[in-house]
Amino acid sequence: MTLILSNEEIESVLGMADCVEVLERLYRELADGRALVRQRSDIIVPGPEPGTVYGLKSMDGVSPAWEVGAVRINSDLLHWPVRNGFTRREKVPAAPGGRWVGLVLLFSSRTGEPLAILPDGVIQRMRVGGTGGLAVRHLAREDASVAAILGSGWQAGAALMGAHAVRPLREVRVYSPNPEHREAFAREWEEKLDLPVRSARSGREAVAGADIVLAATNALEPVFEGAWAEAGMHLGCVRQHELGEAVLRRAAVVAVNAHEGIPQHLMHPEVSQHAELSGGRGWTGVASDMVEGRPLLAEIVAGRGPRRTSPDEITVFLNNIGLGAQFAAVGAHVLERAHARGLGRELPTEWFTQDVHP
């Protein structure tokens, strides 16, 4: 049978602590060259309205440890609004009912059969937050206990969960340009994590004295100024645009998720003017020479890359691109837990296989 799960069911079986542990195992597998990923691919054509584009995105990977291959597919309408002075890349909920479209397909590497079809919303959020937490585990000071979150949306909550899963936080500050959003975030996560979460009036106020600084926004420009970096900080992001080049120059260790951080773009000529999609500095957010040659997070997790050597060093994790194998590993974990709890809807595998040689 092929299992169909909802975001709500996935959320009920996927805790952040478990997600970090699954990713730890996967990143060691990546470092050994056993788990494999393929460069993300984006096909971009004009959208139905001026200023929009349609993007068909795919990324995939295989984890032999879990005997699972995964394909993530997004079918998106995109636009670039300016909010609170920052240009943001946002997906338009244009599907019927004001919804978005993202799917994860899981396959058995033993038989080739489809194992599950999942929405990507919760699983992608958790794997991003969990990867940030994994970087905190291996690069932040052991005594790190004060976290600053730049952003107050969906991914900001996951970033906080990731840090909380690996360090005993005693204080959190949050800043985003919208006071109502950041104050609501502070109330929500103070209750969920049972620790003080304070709404800061500026980014500078939020990060001052913090041990861990995590940016989790849709901004395409830096939201962290290099002058804010203090000795001993660990910084992370969900989009590498968020951290400017000044802090990278000051950091003792800058880890990246992949050396090839730009998706393969197939673009219609009418949309090539979008700087964020141009495949150059507009996409990467930092000069290429500031990223090339950086150690992979997988190498650091496996004990083969540089680590913090003193409590005063600044460390950075640039989440420069997602990895398809993250969905294979985390998806396999979700599938195992869902089967154990009898969740989801089963469809006949025969619907997705055939007796004709393809």
CATH architecture of the domain 2-123+325-344 equals 2-Layer Sandwich (3.30)
> Using one digit for the tens of pLDDT, what is the confidence trace for 118-151?
999 999 999 999 999 999 999 999 999 999 999 9
Q: What is the C-alpha separation between 254 and 266, in angstroms, rounded?
A: 29
Confidence at residue 284, expressed as pLDDT on a 0 to 100 scale: 52
Confidence at residue 272, expressed as pLDDT on a 0 to 100 scale: 60
The residue to which tokens 């700087």 are assigned = 275
Per-residue confidence band for 262, with pLDDT thresholds at 50, 70 and 90: confident
Domain boundaries, the chain: 2-123+325-344, 125-268+283-318
Q: At what angle do helices 324-341 and 121-139 cross, to 10 degrees?
A: 110
Q: What is the C-alpha separation between 264 and 42, in angstroms, rounded?
A: 6
Q: Token pair of 54, please?
A: 């349609």
Q: Which of 13-22, 45-54, 82-91, 233-242 has the lowest mean pLDDT?
A: 82-91
Q: What is the C-alpha separation between 20 and 7, in angstroms, rounded?
A: 19
Among the listed residues 74, 67, 75, the one whose alpha carbon sits nearest the alpha carbon of residue 106: 67
Indicate if the pLDDT at residue 290 is higher than 90: no
Report CA-CA distances (Å) from 331 to 23, 28, 70, 123, 339: 11, 17, 8, 7, 12
Percent of the chain with pLDDT over 70: 95
Contact (CB, 8 A) for 214 and 150? yes
Mean pLDDT of 315-326: 95
Cβ atoms < 10 Å from Cβ of 227: 11
Q: What is the C-alpha separation between 195 and 178, in angstroms, rounded?
A: 22
Sign of CA dihedral 117, 121, 123, 127: positive
Among the listed residues 340, 19, 8, 313, the one whose alpha carbon sits nearest the alpha carbon of residue 162: 19
> Using one digit for the tens of pLDDT, what is the confidence trace for 71-102?
999 999 998 888 777 777 789 999 999 999 99
Mean pLDDT of 185-204: 97
Amino acid at residue number 86? F
- E strand segments, 142-187: 146-150, 171-175
Confidence at residue 90, expressed as pLDDT on a 0 to 100 scale: 87
* Mean pLDDT (the chain, rounded): 93
Q: What is the DSSP letter of 294?
A: P
Length of the chain: 358
Contact (CB, 8 A) for 305 and 296? yes
Confidence at residue 280, expressed as pLDDT on a 0 to 100 scale: 42
CATH architecture of the domain 125-268+283-318 equals 3-Layer(aba) Sandwich (3.40)
Q: What is the C-alpha separation between 230 and 118, in angstroms, rounded?
A: 41
Q: Could you give phi then psi for residue 117, rounded to 5 degrees?
A: -125, 120
Q: What is the DSSP letter of 240?
A: G
> Using one digit for the tens of pLDDT, what is the confidence trace for 321-341?
999 999 999 999 999 999 999
Among the listed residues 54, 56, 21, the one whose alpha carbon sits nearest the alpha carbon of residue 40: 56
Q: Token pair of 130, please?
A: 């969990």
Report CA-CA distances (Å) from 137 to 9, 142, 277: 28, 8, 32
